[in-house]
Amino acid sequence: MLLIITVVVLGGCTDGSYTSTTSYLKVTDKKYSDDYKEAWIMAYNPYDSEKKNVIKIVVEEPVVWNLIEKDREYFSSYSKKGEEPWVLEQIAFPSDEKALR
């Protein structure tokens, strides 16, 4: 019984929200931390007619980050948990129908 109460209390204390998005992205910049432990891109959805809302998306794989080019358009999926930063899940050229997804 105590275990169930502990799980309920701890589960209620965290922000369990999870958001996943799939969209076109135009990369405006690429950066990495001074210690090389984190790399990210700055990008926006070029087809969002409202505004160019540039967001930071963390790229966990260095090989993937190295292949991403500034000022290129990609089709991508990215997600975030609670208030954590967006994390890249998949990325491909829009016309690349043979890409693994």
Give the model's pLDDT for residue 3.
37
Give the model's pLDDT for residue 100.
62
Give the model's pLDDT for residue 10.
44
As separate numbers, helices (DSSP H) first and strands (DSSP E) second, the chain gives 2, 5
Give the model's pLDDT for residue 67.
96
Instruction: Look up residue 78 and give its DSSP letter.
Output: E
Q: How many CB atoms neighbour CB 42 within 10 A?
A: 16
Per-residue tens of pLDDT for the chain, all 101 residues:
433 433 344 444 556 799 999 999 999 999 999 999 999 999 999 998 777 899 999 999 999 999 999 999 999 999 999 999 999 999 998 876 666 65
Give the model's pLDDT for residue 1.
43
Give the model's pLDDT for residue 16.
74
Give the model's pLDDT for residue 7.
39
What gap in Å lies between CA 70 and CA 53, rounded to an integer?
Answer: 16
